[in-house]
Homo-oligomer: A and B are copies of this chain.
C-alpha cells in the first residue's frame, strides 16, 4: 500500500496557516513536500508563541511530513534556483501577496514554459485579481468581511471571531482539493495549470442561507448567540460545576423528553410552549427553566440524564477533556511525535482515513534548512561542492 500522492513532489513556498495547512494535507497524502524558507528566519509561523524549547508549537502543528531548505529570496540567483526547483516539481504552492512571484521573475508564464506539467497553487486573501487583490488579507479580515463574524456572538454584544482560524484552514483545504483535482486532470490532459483560491471566497462558500436571505428576501441574518435559529430549547447551559453543556431539544418529541427529565411535565401543557413556533417565540422563558435545572446539578448528573433520555447533547469540552477523549484516542487523532529540539509534541492525527492508500505521518516538522543539502542533491543533482558554492554566495 502506497499513499495516494506517492511520488508527487511539492515545492512549498507558503507561510502562516492557509498554505502550510494545504501542503500538510498533501504531505499526509504521501507527497514529498519541500518547504523553502527564508534563510536565517524561516516561515513566519516559526516565530509565533507558544514555544517549547524555543520551537513554536504553532509552526510545529502545521509542518510535519515536510523537509526544509533555506533560500535568500532576495538574492539575484534566487529566481533561477526557484525555476530549477519548479522544473523538478509536480506542484508549487505559494501564498505571497499577488504579484510577488511575477516580481521575482517566477510568474506562471515562466514556470509553465519550463514545466508544462506543473500545478501552481496560489492562495491569497482576496484572489489574484480584483479591486481588493493587493490588500493584506488574513483569517480575521476574512471572517469579518465575509459576514461570518456578524453571525457569531451574542445579539447584544459585538460580532465574534471563532475559536480558531477556520477560514485559513478552509482555504488550505480548498487549495489542497483543487491541487489533487489538477493532478487527476493532468492524467488526462498531460498539462498542469494554475489554481487561485482566496480566503474571502472560501469564507463566502460556507454562508449557507445568509446570501440568499439578504439578496433575494432582503432579510439580514445576524447573530443569535448559542440560541438555535429555528427551535427551542437548543442552547448552551451552565451546570453547578461551572461547566457548560450543549443541548439540542427543540423538536416536540425531544422537548417532551426534556420535560420528563427535569420532572416538569406541566410544561407540556403550558400554552407558551406547546409548539415549535411558540417555544421559539418564548425561547428565553423555556431556556431559563432548562438553565435552572442544569445549574442545580453537577455536570455528570446532567450529562447522564441527557444520555438516558436520548437527548442530543454533550459537555462543552475544555482542552483538558479533549486530550482525554476516548474516541479521539481510538481514532488515532492524538499523535505524539518526538521532535529533536522540542521533545514530545502532541498534534492531530491524519484526518482522512483511506483504506487502500492510507495517509501517514512519516517525518516530524523540520528544523529550518535541515534538508537543504540533501534536497539540492536529490532534486537538482548537486554534489557537496556545488552546494558549498551556493552557501558561499549565501543563496542557501
Binding site for B on A (CB under 8 A): 4-5, 17, 25, 29, 48-50, 52, 57-58, 60-62, 108, 126-127, 129-133, 136, 138, 140-141, 143-154, 157-166, 169-170, 173-178, 180-185, 187, 189, 191-198, 200-202, 204-217, 219-223, 225-226, 229-230, 236, 238, 244, 246, 248, 312, 314-323, 325-328, 330-331, 333-334, 336, 343-349, 351-357
Contacts and interface: CB of A to CB of B under 8 A. Distances in A.
Contact of A58 (B192, B209, B326): B209
A144 B321 CA distance: 11
A176 B177 contact: yes
A159 to B, nearest CB: 5
A-B interface, 6 closest residue pairs, ranked by CB to CB distance from nearest:
A151-B163, A152-B163, A193-B356, A215-B346, A130-B330, A178-B352
Given A61-B208, A212-B345, A355-B195, A147 B244 contact: no
- Determine the main DSSP class of A at the interface with B: mixed
A138 B312 contact: yes
B330 A207 contact: no
A166 B170 contact: yes
A124 B211 CA distance: 27
A390 B119 CA distance: 47
B344 A201 contact: no
A147 B196 contact: no
B354 A214 contact: no
Q: Report the copy number of this chain in the oligomer.
A: 2
A330 B220 contact: no
Contact of A50 (B166, B213, B318, B319): B213
16 contacts: A49-B230, A61-B212, A126-B327, A127-B327, A130-B330, A145-B314, A145-B322, A158-B236, A169-B206, A180-B181, A189-B357, A204-B333, A204-B348, A211-B334, A212-B346, A214-B320
Nearest to A213: B50
B212 A60 contact: yes
Contact of A150 (B25, B165, B318): B318
A73 to B, nearest CB: 21
A242 to B, nearest CB: 11
A223 to B, nearest CB: 7
